[in-house]
């Protein structure tokens, strides 16, 4: 998808996302969005597209690192609970408790018994969340292996993106089929009426972001609220000039206009 039609479509959706955030704050709704999928599928870009116009104090992104030794000894879901949304909050999980059914399982970071326990427990845990009023949305972002390989190559060639690559990514390249099998087992066990999965094609990332956002907004109730009145008073004095006494600003960038 070309940038111009994408930008125009995204801007229209951003207005709806901001209205949704205002609705959530006014009503105390709790919105939780989980994004899972292939490495390089585009989870980070989708999260940025959803959140970039929303107040960051209201919309939080959660991307947990490898569990500590203490966390590894806890009830599996325990370290995710503190990050769940409170009243009026929107929380976006960049990977979630489903790490156990995908990455941890395929990479051998957990046992088969632990995976089986997780697949039994996850629907119950999510039922507790939705019964408490949390609006839970689960998205799986898909991309073909050829597209994944191209994105890996782009990251490798770009010094500003190379940090995104890890030894796990390198190993995952050879385990594409294993990830597919793990995903299908995960869908079978955890796709429920109260917390269904939605698969979004992210071979075209721009089109995928628009599809995901449109679907998310359509699954929420009417979020329109009357526009708040804008009454911005004028300054009661001439505009003041910024002045410093103790410390002075550093010299400005020396390049001229257009440099």
Over the chain, what HEC string results? CCHHHHHHHHHHHHHHHHHHHHHHHHHCCEEEEEEEECCCCCHHHHHHHHHCCCCCCCEEEECCCCCCHHHHCCCHHHHCHHHCCCCCCEEEEECCHHHHHHHHHHHCCCCHHHHHHHHHHHHHHHHHHHHCCEEEEEEEEECCHHHHHHHHHHHHHCCCCHHHCCHHHHHHHHHHHHHHHHHHHHHHHHCCCCCCEEEEECCCHHHHHHHHHHHHHHCCCCCCCCCCCCCCCCCCCCCCCCCCCCCCCCCCCCCCCCC
pLDDT tens column, 174-189 = 899 999 999 999 999 9
pLDDT greater than 80 at residue 258: no
pLDDT tens for each residue of 162-219: 998 888 888 888 899 999 999 999 999 999 999 999 999 999 999 999 999 999 999 9
Contact 141, 206 (CB under 8 A): no
Q: What is the pLDDT of residues 37-54, one digit of tens each?
A: 988 999 999 999 999 999
pLDDT at 255 over 80: no
**What is the model's pLDDT at position 259?**
52
Half-sphere exposure (Cβ direction) of 146: Cα atoms closer than 13 Å: 2
Compute the average pLDDT of residues 66-89.
96
Domain limits, the chain = 3-218
The dihedrals phi and psi of 61, each to the nearest 5 degrees, come to -110, 130
Span 3-218 CATH architecture: 3-Layer(aba) Sandwich (3.40)
Once rounded to an integer, what is the mean pLDDT over residues 116-134? 98
> Whole-number mean pLDDT of the chain?
94
Contact between 59 and 51 (Cβ < 8 Å): yes
Q: Which residue has the tokens 């989980």?
A: 34
**pLDDT above 90 covers what percent of the chain?**
84
- Using CA atoms in the order 46, 48, 54, 59, what is the torsion angle rounded to 10 degrees? 80
Q: What average pLDDT does this structure show over 228-234?
A: 84
What is the rounded CA–CA span in Å between residue 34 and residue 212? 12
Query: pLDDT at position 230, please?
Result: 82
The four Cα atoms 126, 22, 48, 6 give a dihedral, to 10 degrees, of 120
Task: Decide if pLDDT at 257 tops 80.
Answer: no
Q: Please, what's the largest Cα pairwise distance for the chain?
A: 71
Q: What is the rounded average pLDDT of the residues 69-74?
A: 95
The whole-number pLDDT of residue 168 equals: 84
Whole-number Å distance between alpha carbons of 216 and 181: 26
- Count, residues in the chain: 259
Q: Identify the pLDDT of residue 256.
A: 62
pLDDT at 13: 98
Q: Is 87 exposed, middle or buried (0-12, 13-18, 19+ CB in 10 A)?
A: exposed
Whether the per-residue pLDDT at 227 is higher than 90: the answer is: no
Is the pLDDT at 251 greater than 80? The verdict is: yes
What is d(CA 17, CA 20) in angstroms, rounded to the nearest whole number? Answer: 5
């Amino acid at each position: 998808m070309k940038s111009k039609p994408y930008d125009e479509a995204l801007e229209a959706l951003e207005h709806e996302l901001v209205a949704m955030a205002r609705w959530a704050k006014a009503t105390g709704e709790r919105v939780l969005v989980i994004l899972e999928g292939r490495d390089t599928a585009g989870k980070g870009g989708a999260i940025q597209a959803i959140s970039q116009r929303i107040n960051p104090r209201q919309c939080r992104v959660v991307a947990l690192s490898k569990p500590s030794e203490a966390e590894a000894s806890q009830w599996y879901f325990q370290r995710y609970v503190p990050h769940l949304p409170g009243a009026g909050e929107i929380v976006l999980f960049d990977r979630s408790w489903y790490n156990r059914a995908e990455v941890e399982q395929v990479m051998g970071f957990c046992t088969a018994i632990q995976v089986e326990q997780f697949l039994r427990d996850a629907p119950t845990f999510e039922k507790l969340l939705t019964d408490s009023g949390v609006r839970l949305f689960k998205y799986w972002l898909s991309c073909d292996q050829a597209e994944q390989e191209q994105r890996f190559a782009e990251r490798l060639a770009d010094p500003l993106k190379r940090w995104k690559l890890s030894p796990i990514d390198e190993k995952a390249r050879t385990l594409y089929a294993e990830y597919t099998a793990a995903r299908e087992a995960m869908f079978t066990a955890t796709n429920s009426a109260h917390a269904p999965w939605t698969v979004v094609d992210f071979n075209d990332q721009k089109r995928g972001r628009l599809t995901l956002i449109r679907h998310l907004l359509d699954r929420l109730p009417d979020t329109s609220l009357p526009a708040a009145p804008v009454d911005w008073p004028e300054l009661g004095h001439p505009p003041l000039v910024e002045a410093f006494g103790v410390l002075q600003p550093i010299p400005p960038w020396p390049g001229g206009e257009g440099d």
